[in-house]
Amino acid sequence: MVSSSRGSPYAGAVTAQRNRVLRAGLTGGIGSGKSEVSRRLAAHGAVIIDADVAARAVVAPGTPGLARVVEAFGADVLGPDGALDRERLGAIVFADPASRSTLNAIVHPLVGQWMRVADQAAVDTADGDVIIVHDVPLLAENRRAGNFDLVIVVDVPPELQLERLVTQRGMTPDQARARIAAQASREQRLAVADLVIDNSGPLEDLDRRVAEVWADLQLRVAVP
């Protein structure tokens, strides 16, 4: 069922359209495989609005967002080409909660605005009912569950997160633990979940579970 009772900032776009719109928030901890789920939902027909894409766009070279980041953290966070050196900035903010809060205060409002514009564009160009999935890594941390009709959480045990970050992303165990600790806990994410996708098994299991979730979303958007 499509509902705007959670106080979504996108609700105005829904009421202005004849087509039904279902908005789902998708989240999961680092190393959970959330991007794999997002790609599969897109293949099923969802419109994906990715907060990571937004976060890169709002600090691209020449943007006010990048200028504010440089003002806060210094020119050392820029690469030789003038683009943001995300690894260097990440090393600063993931080691210092105060620096992370400063960065979030700059970037998060810009990301929110970018995603609202993208959401409106998806609604305006939809040919029929539409399922919009907002891929938001920090959904639980920023208390954004109420912005969506439902929340999907991609879940894996913390020890598997750690293993994936070390083996697949080349982090040291300490770096991986710091990244995990900087996010909401597993329990905090699950507390806001309407649907949970377990991604601790093989990809065949993930394919099956995502297909089940997609069928659920289709049922929800079909109910007036």
Vertex 83 angle, CA 80 and 89, to 5°:
95
- Are the C-beta atoms of residues 14 and 123 closer than 8 Å to each other? yes
Task: Give the Cα separation of 36 and 172 in Å (integer).
Answer: 23
Residue 2: pLDDT above 80?
A: no
What pLDDT, on a 0 to 100 scale, did the predictor assign at position 13? 42
- Are the C-beta atoms of residues 69 and 59 closer than 8 Å to each other? yes
Which residues does 200 contact at the CB level (< 8 Å), separation at least 6?
155, 156, 157, 160
Which residues does 2 contact at the CB level (< 8 Å), separation at least 6?
14, 20, 21, 22, 149, 220, 221, 223, 224
Instruction: Give the strand order in the sheet containing 150-155.
Output: 47-50, 130-135, 21-28, 150-155, 195-198
Q: How confident is the model at residue 18 (pLDDT cuts 50, 70, 90)?
A: low
pLDDT digits (tens, 9 = 90+) for 64-103: 999 999 999 999 999 999 999 998 998 899 888 899 999 9
What stretch of H or E contains 177?
helix 173-181
- What count of other Cβ atoms lies within 10 Å of the Cβ of residue 18? 6
Percentage with pLDDT > 90 across the chain: 78
Residue 173: pLDDT above 70?
A: yes
Does the CA dihedral 196-20-42-65 come out positive or negative?
negative
Q: Which domains does the chain have, with CATH numbers?
A: 11-222 (3.40.50.300)
Phi-psi bin for 143: left (phi > 0), alpha (psi -120 to 50), beta? left
Question: What pTM does this model have?
Answer: 0.84
Residue 108: pLDDT above 60?
A: yes
Task: Give the Cα separation of 118 and 112 in Å (integer).
Answer: 10
- Are the C-beta atoms of residues 20 and 132 closer than 8 Å to each other? no
